[in-house]
């Protein structure tokens, strides 16, 4: 099977290359509880599946290789411990995890397919799952996991044409981080609307301190943050040249033009943005769940909090995180055995807690952070977290969106012109 898909992947994989959002790192109408953009080319899977894996994979043996791109030492240690726990739990299957740099991840998958040297499992940014699945690289595992207790957004990010091509590993979403002391000094309450955000951000901007920022780099990481504005208007990611899409671009422009948001944010990753916040150079930022452990460790005395992202018409956040996927034609039976072990409550918690993630299984997540107000706020926001896609051509859509807001923020185009340009690209992709 690996040889069968290798030619297709070699011809098409490189066209889909685009950096994913950092949960690391990234990746799927706004504030809807199903957490997806409505796409004319995407079918939604019935999340009910029957766990019949005992009969299907009994007697699974052999070696299983996992590829991942996490560069953080704590993430790597957590995964290695999970692998060790599985290997110690039985003697028929041996799992090994291999680090592949994020910048090279998609390229290595393409090369590996051509050389018939693919792993058996990959852990990838959730908006990339549909693209890989459409190329034939992932095995259809429908019916082998009961995902009915998982949040809809993560499940939909694993779904293409009604088939399940992955298991949500862990999820994260975005909230507004705010410096309590800075807001108080400026005489501001925590903003809940766009107008309130712009007003508070301007009042907090002084003495080389900016009022607000979010990562706005021209890649998936920037798209992940910017789309919260689009979804809050009620528009989808496929409707940039709509009233909502133009309004979202205008919001980004207003923040820059007012001086409340630094233009340099077009070069800031989510990690860069966090560093500016903890250094006292930002009063507010949009950022994700995964930053909490670092902030608590590095600036334990910083007086900060989190709140829903200020909204236009409706509350909205972005869904990030990763999915496990099984490579078609690899050691599928053994890979599935490992995934069933990895998704057990104890093993799942050991991973997501170490990484500052939310379990994608709602039955685990609801008790995961009991008593922790910050994490409980992120868990609550999961019902408003929108997945990017799922769509095989999502990387191309994302590129059009990120180019649009970068042009507007850099002053190279108006919101109207940038929206029209992005829409032309999006319509061409959707109408192929």
Q: Are residues 398 and 311 in the same domain?
A: yes
Q: Both 255 and 338 in a single domain?
A: no
20 pLDDT more than 50: no
- Examine the domain organization and report whether 376 and 398 are in the same domain: no
143 shares a domain with 30: yes
Percent of the residues in the chain that have a pLDDT greater than 90, as a whole number: 67
Say if residue 53's pLDDT is above 70: no
Nearest to 292 by CA among 185, 369, 204, 215: 369
Asked if residue 192 lies in contact with residue 310, where contact means CB atoms within 8 angstroms, the answer is: yes
Higher pLDDT, 387 or 222: 222
pLDDT higher than threshold 60 for residue 51: no
Angle value at C-alpha 248, between 246 and 252, nearest 5 degrees: 115
pLDDT of amino acid 12: 43
Q: Do residues 221 and 290 share a domain?
A: yes
Evaluate if residue 30 carries a pLDDT over 70: no
- Are residues 299 and 425 located together in one domain of the fold? yes
Report how far residue 122's alpha carbon sits from residue 120's, in angstroms, rounded to the nearest whole number: 7
- Residues 304, 242 share a domain: yes
Q: Is the pLDDT of residue 253 over 60?
A: yes
| Cα–Cα dist 13/28, whole Å | 20
**Residue 112: predicted pLDDT:** 79
Q: Please tell me the predicted confidence (pLDDT) of residue 37.
A: 60
Q: Give first-to-last CA distance, the chain, whole Å.
A: 27
Mean pLDDT, range 51-76, rounded to an integer: 75
The CATH number that applies at residue 286 is 3.40.190.10
- Does residue 159 register a pLDDT over 70? yes
Count of CB atoms situated within 10 Å of the CB of 414 = 15
Answer yes or no: do 382 and 405 share one domain: no
pLDDT at residue 392 greater than cutoff 50 = yes
Q: Say what angle helices 394-409 and 220-232 make with each other, to 10 degrees.
A: 80
What average pLDDT is seen over the chain? 86
Instruction: Give the whole-angstrom CA distance, residue 246 versus residue 315.
Output: 18
The number of residues making up the chain comes to: 432
Given this model, what pLDDT does residue 75 score? Answer: 87
pLDDT of residue 367: 85
CB 224 within 8 A of CB 19: no
- Can you name the residues that pair with 326 across neighbouring β-strands? 121
Contacts with 327 (C-beta within 8 Å, 6 or more apart), sequence order? 2, 118, 119, 120, 121, 122, 137, 138, 139, 335
* pLDDT at 422 (0 to 100): 98
pLDDT class for 131, splitting at 50, 70, 90?
confident
Regarding whether 368 and 290 lie in a shared domain, the answer is: no
* Same domain? 245 vs 329: no
Residue 167: band (very low, low, confident or very high) from pLDDT cuts 50, 70, 90: very high
Which of 21-25, 200-204, 419-423, 427-431 has the least mean pLDDT? 21-25
Mean pLDDT to the nearest integer, 291-308: 95
Domain that holds residue 253: 173-318+394-430
90 and 136 housed in the same domain: yes
Rounded CA-CA distance 147/131 in Å is 21
HEC readout, the chain: CHHHHHHHHHHHHHHHCCCCCCCCCCCCCCCCCCCCCCCCCCCCCCCCCCCCHHHHHCCCCEEEEEEECCCCHHHHHHHHHHHHHHHHHCCCEEEEEEECCHHHHHHHHHHHHHCCCCCCEEEEEHHHHHHHHHCCCECCCCCCCCCCCECHHHHHHCEECCEECCEEEEEEEEEEEEEHHHHHHCCCCCCCEHHHHHHHHHHHCECCEECCECCCCCCHHHHHHHHHHHHHCCCCCCCCCCHHHHHHHHHHHHHHHCCCCCHHHHHCCHHHHHHHHHCCCECEEEEEHHHHHHHHHHCCCCCEEEECCCECCCCCEEEEEEEEEEECCCCHHHHHHHHHHHCCHHHHHHHHHHHCCEECEHHHHCCCCCCCHHHHHHHHHHHHEECCCCCCCHHHHHHHHHHHHHHHHCCCCCHHHHHHHHHHHHHHHHCC
Tell me phi and psi for residue 132, to 5 degrees: -65, -40
Q: What does the alpha-carbon distance between residue 115 and residue 29 come to, in Å, rounded to a whole number? A: 41
Highest-confidence segment of 143-152, 225-234, 360-369: 225-234
- Residue 46 pLDDT more than 70? no
Whole-angstrom Cα Rg for the chain: 21
Is there a single domain that holds both residue 368 and residue 407? no
Number of folded domains that form the chain: 2
């Amino acid at each position: 099977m690996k040889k069968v898909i290798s030619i297709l992947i070699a011809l098409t994989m490189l066209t889909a290359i685009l950096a994913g959002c950092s949960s690391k790192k990234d990746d799927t109408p706004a504030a809807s509880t199903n957490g997806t953009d409505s796409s004319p080319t995407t079918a939604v899977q019935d999340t009910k599946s029957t766990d019949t894996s005992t009969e299907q994979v009994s007697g699974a043996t052999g070696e299983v290789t996992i590829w991942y791109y996490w560069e953080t030492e704590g993430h790597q240690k957590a995964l290695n411990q999970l692998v060790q726990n599985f290997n110690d739990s039985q003697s028929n299957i041996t799992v090994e995890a291999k680090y592949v740099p994020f910048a090279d991840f998609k390229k290595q998958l393409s090369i590996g397919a051509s050389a018939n040297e693919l792993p058996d499992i990959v852990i990838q940014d959730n908006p990339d799952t549909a693209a890989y699945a459409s190329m034939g690289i992932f095995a259809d595992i429908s019916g082998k996991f009961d995902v009915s207790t998982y949040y809809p957004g993560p499940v939909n990010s694993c779904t293409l044409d009604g088939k399940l091509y992955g298991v949500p590993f862990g999820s994260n979403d975005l909230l507004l981080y705010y410096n309590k002391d800075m807001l108080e000094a400026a005489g501001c309450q925590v903003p809940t609307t766009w107008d309130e955000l712009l007003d508070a951000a301007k009042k907090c901007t002084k003495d080389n301190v900016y009022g607000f920022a979010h990562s706005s780099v021209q890649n998936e990481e920037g798209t992940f943050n910017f789309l919260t504005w689009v979804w809050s208007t009620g528009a989808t990611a496929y409707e940039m040249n709509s009233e909502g899409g133009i309004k979202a671009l205008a919001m980004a422009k207003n923040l820059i033009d007012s001086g409340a948001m630094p233009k340099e944010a077009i070069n800031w990753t989510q990690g860069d943005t966090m560093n500016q916040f903890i250094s006292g150079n930002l009063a507010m930022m949009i950022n994700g769940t995964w930053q909490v452990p670092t902030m608590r460790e590095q600036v334990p005395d910083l007086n900060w909090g989190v709140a829903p992202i200020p909204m236009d018409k409706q509350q909205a956040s972005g869904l990030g995180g990763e999915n496990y996927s099984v490579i078609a034609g690899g050691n599928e039976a053994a890979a599935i055995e490992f995934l069933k072990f990895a998704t057990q409550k104890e093993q799942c918690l050991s991973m997501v807690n170490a990484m500052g993630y939310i379990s994608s299984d709602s039955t685990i997540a609801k008790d995961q952070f009991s008593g922790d107000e910050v994490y409980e706020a992120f868990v609550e926001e999961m019902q408003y977290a929108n997945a990017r896609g799922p769509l095989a051509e999502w990387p191309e859509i994302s590129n059009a969106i990120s180019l649009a807001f970068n042009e507007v923020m850099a002053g190279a185009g108006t919101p109207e012109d940038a929206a029209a340009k992005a829409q032309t690209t999006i319509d061409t992709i959707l109408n192929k």
